[in-house]
Amino acid sequence: MMRTTTRVLFAAASFVLGGYLVIDGENLGLILLAVAAYLTVGYFRYGTVALAFRAVAAGHVDRAAQLLDRVKNPTSLHGTDRAYFELASGFVCAARAKNDDAEQHLRCALGSPLRSEDDRALGEAVLAQLLIARDQHDEAHTLLEQAATRCRRPAIADRIRALRAG
C-alpha cells in the first residue's frame, strides 16, 4: 500500500502529464490518465484506512470513526488494508466501551497480516485488556506474553507491563 501523500502526488503527476500527452496526440497519455483514475478510485475506496489508523493512534477516536465510515465496502479490502481497518475499528469500539464488537474486530485484525510487530503487540494488549475485564485471565496472560516478546516501542511496552502487573 502506498502512503497517502505518495498516492496523491503520483495521481496528480500522472493526470497532468497524461493530459499534456493526450493534447499533444500521444497515446501514452491515455495510459497515464488511466493510472491517475485507478489511484484516485483506490484512494476513495480504501485510502482512508491508513488515515483512520493514524487518527486512532493519535487519540482522535471521533475522527477515526468518521474516516472508517467512509469505507463503503470493508469486505472488499484485502491483506493489510483489511487488517488495519479491523484494528482501527477495534480501537474505536474499545474506546466507546463496545467491548464485544471491539473483541471481534481485534481478533480479526490479529489473524491478518499487519505491517509491524508493534502494531500487533498493541492489538494484543488492547484485546488482553478487554479479556481481563471479562475475567478471562488465562487467555489475556497468553496474549500479554506474546505482546511482550514483540514490542519495541517504549510506550507500548509500558502499557503491557502495567497490564501484566495489574
What pLDDT is attached to residue 39?
86
pLDDT tens-place string over residues 91-108: 999 999 999 999 999 999
**pTM score, two decimals?**
0.74
What pLDDT is attached to residue 3?
66
Confidence at 81, pLDDT banded by 50, 70, 90: confident
What pLDDT is attached to residue 21?
94
What pLDDT is attached to residue 1?
47
Distance CA 51, CA 4 (A): 8
Distance CA 74, CA 46 (A): 8
Contact 71, 48 (CB under 8 A): yes
What pLDDT is attached to residue 46?
62
Distance CA 144, CA 158 (A): 12
What pLDDT is attached to residue 42?
75
- Which of 92, 52, 94 lies closest to 70, judged by CA? 52
- pLDDT, mean of residues 53-62: 87
Instruction: Please state, rounded to an integer, the average pLDDT across all residues of the chain.
Output: 87
pLDDT tens-place string over residues 110-158: 998 888 898 999 899 999 999 998 888 899 889 988 888 887 788 888 8
Q: At what angle do helices 61-69 and 48-57 cross, to 10 degrees?
A: 160
What pLDDT is attached to residue 50?
81
107-138 as b/e: b if 16+ CB within 10 A: ebbbebebeeebbbbbbbbbbbbbbbeeeeee
